Amino acid sequence: MNVPFLDLAAQQAEVADEVIARWKQQLGAAAFVGGPEVNAFEQEYAAYIGVRHVVGVSNGTDALELAYRAVGTMPGDEIIMPANTFIATAEAASRIGAVPVFVDVDDDHLLIDPAAIEAAITPRTRAIAPVHLFGQTAPMEQIVPIAERHGLVIVEDAAQSQGASGIAGRAGSIGRVAATSFYPGKNLGAAGDAGAVMTNDPEIAHIVRNLGGHGSSVKYVHDRVGMNARLDAVQATVLRAKLRRLDGWNAARDAAAGRYAELLAGIDGLRLPAAREGNDDVWHLYVVRVDERDRVMAELDAAGIGVGVHYPTPVHLTEAYRSLGYRRGQFPVAEAAADSILSLPMFPHLTEAQQERVASVLQRAIRGAAVQGTVGEARAALVTS
């Protein structure tokens, strides 16, 4: 039995009839960018997250850039963020001339370390960008007081956490502004690229909408240099249909995470993900840690089990950010995790039989890696003796 890493076809099949019917109506009305469908989605997602304003945009990276710009980030300003994240968190800052300042993560959950945030603050720090990674919520109950003490803005990266919540509230509703991605593989995914900015501040919402429409709120009147970052109605239709199913799909992910925990308990050489106390995780990814990761991953792949690594290189060590001068060893938790993390198949339609297959192959691969490691050590000992 082959098991895909992600089964988008099953998800799309649930909404296909509804979406196609709405698309036909859009073709007749010729309402493709903005319009009633986008407005409706923005209102529905705002109600779901628990914020006053949502602005639909073209993708998650644009959403982050717009959020950074809307809170007044200027070239040279520093934005503190975790080293363990997708590059878009940093890339969006770099695109406006801001400086990403990376910090380490905690070893239990691989989320941004609040103590590391405080240590990284300088007179040039403008914002903190906590990332709600893997479907978890970052420790906002500790981050918010830090931001308040130092007069900093919080810009949440909520691209992997649609529906997640923690002690401080729902992901995307806690900071001054938040950005999310609706890339197809997200818990709430479009049929292409899409994203959104969320805020309770009407002025920030206005600036985001203005910037994303070429710096214009009235046609051909341009208040600032903006960009073209609008959400199209085709994607809004898909997102509206999926939003109505999101809680059910997240519950299915949670059930799958529980099954993995039972199936994989007690395996030597395997570290399972741990949920933060007070968190309601939505399990965007199920990330384990294993010894001999690359060898284990190769065996899973050979057996038809789809897996991933999120992420193989911490952002501070990528070639793109070599110029910032970070060195290996500065963020030991993120760096060690990058060598051992392995994302197992996780999606709402994952079956118990598929999970049993994953668990069986994974256990066999880990045992094989352990044997290979023992043999290698024995050979090395013979050579040195």
Which residues does the annotation mark as catalytic?
186
DSSP string covering 177-204: EEEEE--TTSSS--SS--EEEEES-HHH
For the chain, what's the residue count?
Answer: 385
First to last CA, the chain: 46
Count of beta carbons in the 10 Å neighbourhood of residue 221: 8
On the CB side of 7, CA atoms within 13 Å amount to 18
Residue 361 phi, psi (nearest 5) = -70, -40
- Convert 312-350 to b/e letters by CB count within 10 Å (16 or more is b): ebbbbbeeebeeeebeeebbebbbebbebbbbbbbbbbb
Four-point Cα dihedral 72, 76, 78, 83, nearest 10: 120
Q: Are strands 99-103 and 221-222 parallel, antiparallel or unpaired?
A: unpaired
Residue 56 phi, psi (nearest 5) = -70, 135
| CA angle 309–315–318, rounded 5-degree value | 95
Q: In the chain, which ranges are E strands?
A: 53-57, 78-82, 99-103, 125-128, 153-157, 165-166, 169-170, 177-181, 195-199, 216-218, 221-222, 270-271, 286-290, 341-344
State yes or no: cis peptide before 311, omega within 30 of 0: yes
Q: Token pair for residue 120?
A: 């990284």
**Residue written as tokens 């103590």?**
115
DSSP string covering 287-299: EEEETTHHHHHHH
Residue 358 phi, psi (nearest 5) = -60, -50
Count of beta carbons in the 10 Å neighbourhood of residue 41: 25
Q: Whole-angstrom Cα distance, residue 247 to residue 230?
A: 26
